[in-house]
Amino acid sequence: MASLFTIQSEFRYEIVRKIFEGGMGVVYEAEQHGARDFVKRIAIKVIRQSFANQGMFIENFIGEAKLVADLIHTNIVQTYHLGEARGIYFISMELIRGVNLEQFHQQHVTTRKQLPKELAVFIASRVARGLAYAHTKRDKDGKNLGLVHRDVSPKNVMIAFEGDVKLTDFGIAKARGFLQDQEGEVVAGKADYMSPEQANFQKTDARSDIFSVGIVLAHLLLGYNVFKGQTLEESRQRVMTMPIPDFRSLDSRVDDLLNEILQRSLKRDLGERYSNATELLLQLEKYIYQVGYGPTNETLGRYIRDLFAYSEPGQESADKNATMIFDRTKSR
């Protein structure tokens, strides 16, 4: 039997620039430095200082890192490491050279372009593929984690300039034994992308994420979110009560089969909705590949590079407001 041993190593993280700033955390691009001039570009998610002393938030941040550590899938942003330096907790993650779906949509508005229908369905299918993996993930003892993302929305779906679609930010996910959950007491997620059961303070399962994928797909096709109201409360009410439209009447590109997929994804009756993400994935793939050749990562990659007139960036200058260096020897 192989002997067990521990490797003590030292490398540091140097912040390059700020990528994204959310309500509770900030994501930076960073360089991971190791032995013999080893350098790897990664992303680092850091808790905002204003939340650094809140025990429950810290526990959920740590729980998120532990939860996603073993979620290794091409359609999920990979987590590398949980660390702590000078009282600041951080998660190092796969760096995605690309944009989130919100930025992707805004670029279509700016350039007055319409996203091809097949690419909209392809993007949704990749999100469903990542969810199908996450929903069936088991722990080391073989027990299903019961993972539900609960925040499938444009900001949490990344598209790399190579064409890879990746689901990210499991910060408010629920899964057995990892995160403190107040489901039934508070509403988690973005109001205009949540499921009716989320909006109504009910318990959720994997089918909740399927409803959210349906909203994202409809948004990609139409260029707007049919559930979005003037206020968060109006959006929540629309998710729970608004009649689901016939999408064929809103976009002539939506045929009977695609409308059927959207309708079933957005069923409020859980028994009528797709029972799992794999079922939705298969229907989406059948739709785009039923006549043979269909969109691929390479197809989407060429499209997004052209959309953003993207070329390989040069060396970025360090963000003067983000000069933290993280020492792995203090990691947890």
- Catalytic positions: 151
- Decide: 173 and 179 in contact? Cβ < 8 Å: yes
328 bridge partner residues: none
Q: Tell me the C-alpha distance between 79 and 61, whole Å.
A: 13
Residue 236: closest CA among 184, 185, 193: 193
Q: Tell me the C-alpha distance between 214 and 175, whole Å.
A: 22
What DSSP designation does 201 have?
A: T
The helix or strand, by DSSP H or E, that contains position 99, with its residue range, turns out to be: strand 98-100
What DSSP designation does 36 have?
A: G
Angle at 102 between CA 100 and CA 106, to 5 degrees: 120
Cα 95 from chain centroid (whole Å): 13
Q: Which residues does 45 contact at the CB level (< 8 Å), separation at least 6? A: 25, 26, 27, 90, 91, 93
- Decide: 18 and 28 in contact? Cβ < 8 Å: yes
Q: Tell me the C-alpha distance between 105 and 111, whole Å.
A: 10
Q: Which residues does 329 contact at the CB level (< 8 Å), separation at least 6? A: 10
- Decide: 47 and 57 in contact? Cβ < 8 Å: yes
Q: Tell me the C-alpha distance between 58 and 99, whole Å.
A: 27
Q: Which residues does 47 contact at the CB level (< 8 Å), separation at least 6? A: 24, 25, 57, 58, 61, 88, 89, 90
